[in-house]
Amino acid sequence: MNAEKLVERAKMEAGRRNYPGAVEYFLQALTIDPGHREARRGAREAALKQYENAYPSGAARFLGGIGPRIALALTRDRRRRMEAIEKLLANDPRNRELGMRLGALAEAENLPLAAAAAYEGVSLGNPQDVESLKALGRVLHSQKLIDEAIAVMEKAVALAPRDAEVQRLRKDVAADGYARDAGFSGAKTTHDLLKDREHSRQLEKKGRIVRGADDLAAHAAEARAAAEADPGNPAAWAELGGAEAALRNYAAAEEAMQKACSLAPDDVSLRVRLGDIRIGREDRRMAELRARADAGDAAAKAEIPAAERRQLGILVEEFRYRVAKHPTDLAMRHSLAGYLERSGDLDGAIAEYQNSIKDPRRRPEALGGLGRCFLAKGLLDLAASQLEKAIEEAGAAAGDRSKSLLYDLATVKEKQGDVAKARECLARIYEVDISYQDVARRLEGLRKA
């Protein structure tokens, strides 16, 4: 049976909810074709689905991984090491370290699509992990999978808007996107570009890679001229909106995108782009205020709370719209839940977390969100139940997510009068990170209680 047939069989087993069987067939396909991206991603998705409701304990993961770990230690052959790591991940699909090692091995073995699938797997199991998104975006970019790379880097920017490497990677991918859309990517030689000199001039004018401030301004001027010459064309106004946003002329960008939306009121993508401009405007305003406040500007510091409320209001408004248009997008619902929680709409947040909990990639975070919301509402038994489930599924306490969950559960247990359990939760954090929040002070206070 060839790799494609095995992948088809794996998909059938997954459709029947026989996830262990699906993983086995995906792994068989990978022994035949280690570069099969769909098989590698499918193996991770099936394993995550298998453990959606009950993740293996540390002991189970250790015992189930003895054979593959021995194989991993005994061989220097990269492909055999990749096979061993895949077997370990089948029993521990959220293991970030193993996933990143798998991606690095695949890159060293010149299997870029296998590397992409490995980094995708890390992101599936750890949706807040920025490093895996960086690696995935870089590999996709190297393979000219521009649209996928752009989407990945947008996720990375949303998670780490101040990360300089994320910004650089996004800019590089966007630049190649401009080149492709302008037609440069299909040219094999300079002669190909110069076959039609008039066409080449048009490409240079319309599809120039925008890098410096002068180019950005020139691009915006051209986009404005095009929109004014064809005022009934929503695409022209959308292009102008994007160009003005790149210059951080948010008022002009919003005006242009609103014009595009009015000309094409049923185009959801235009409305989303308008929302992105509004979000970008508030992000920029917050960054400027914080920079001024850090420099000692008291007035800027005083403005920050109101600016944060305004920023959060925009995020809630925009993500409500997006969820209304894409109600089955659980990642979007999870984002909305977080914004609602931060805004104080606890009932709204609970409703959205109860939806996003169905996504295995976000289940621990959603359970933690439910626990926090129930805690804020004073529903301590419900809070404890959700946080305990989240801790069980999140894994070791060394990660920030697990530490946060343990910290919240300690608060619940302390409020319930269960001082011993509260101390136990804080001690688990203290054991791996003494500097986490005020865990040392709280633990000392409970020890004396």
* SS3 (DSSP) at 294: helix
pLDDT tens per residue, range 302-322: 999 999 999 999 999 999 999
Supply the CATH number for residue 288's domain. Answer: 1.25.40.10
Residue 181's pLDDT band, with cuts at 50, 70 and 90, is low
DSSP SS3 for 425: helix
Other beta carbons within 10 Å of 141: 21
Quick one: three-class SS letters along 93-162? Answer: CCCHHHHHHHHHHHHHCCCHHHHHHHHHHHHHHCCCCHHHHHHHHHHHHHCCCHHHHHHHHHHHHHHCCC
- Among residues 286, 302, 318, the one where a domain terminates is 302
Taking CA atoms, 292 is separated from 247, 282, 300, 305, 329, in Å, by 21, 15, 6, 14, 38
Kindly state whether residue 336 falls inside one of the protein's structural domains.
no
Lookup: tokens for 4: 């494609």
**pLDDT class for 449, splitting at 50, 70, 90?**
low
Domain of residue 111 covers 3-127
Confidence of residue 406 (pLDDT cuts 50, 70, 90): very high
Residue type, 342: R
C-alpha neighbours within 13 Å on the C-beta side of residue 411: 17
At 51-102, the pLDDT tens digits run 887 888 877 777 777 888 888 888 888 888 898 899 899 888 999 989 999 9
Q: How does pLDDT run across 202-223, given as a tens digit for each residue?
A: 544 444 444 445 677 888 899 9
Look up residue 2 and give its two tokens. 């060839």
Quick check: is 7 in a domain? Answer: yes
Give the pLDDT confidence score for residue 204 in this predicted structure: 47
pLDDT above 70: residue 395: no
pLDDT at residue 185 is higher than 60: no
d(CA 445, CA 414): 11
Assigned domain for 91 exists: yes
Same domain, yes or no: 123 and 227:
no
Residue 190's pLDDT band (cuts 50, 70, 90)? very low
Reduced to 3 states, what is the DSSP secondary structure of residue 87? Answer: helix
108 band by pLDDT with thresholds 50, 70 and 90: confident
Considering just the CA atoms, what is the radius of gyration of the chain in Å? 25
Query: Looking at the structure, do residues 123 and 233 belong to the same domain, yes or no?
Result: no
The mean of the pLDDT values for the chain is 85
Is 319 inside a domain boundary? no
Does residue 378 form part of some domain?
A: no
Closest by CA to 211, choosing from 238, 186, 176, 181, is: 176
Domain boundary among 302, 320, 340: 302
Residues 122 and 10 in one domain: yes
243 part of a folded domain = yes
Q: Give the DSSP letter string of 371-398.
A: HHHHHHTT-HHHHHHHHHHHHHHH--TT
Looking up residue 76, the CATH number of its domain turns out to be 1.25.40
The answer to the question of residue 172 being in a domain is no
Residue 324 lies in a domain: no
Based on the domain organization, do 120 and 26 belong to the same domain?
Answer: yes
Please check whether residues 8 and 122 belong to one and the same domain: yes
Same domain, 119 and 216: no
Residues 7 and 123 placed together within one structural domain of the fold: yes
**Domain termination site, one of 264, 279, 302:** 302
- Please choose, from the candidates 282, 288, 291, the residue with its C-alpha nearest in 3D space to the C-alpha of residue 313: 282
Total number of domains constituting the chain: 2
Segment 134-168, tens digit of pLDDT: 999 999 988 888 888 888 888 888 888 777 788 88
Half-sphere exposure of 191 (CA within 13 A, CB side): 0
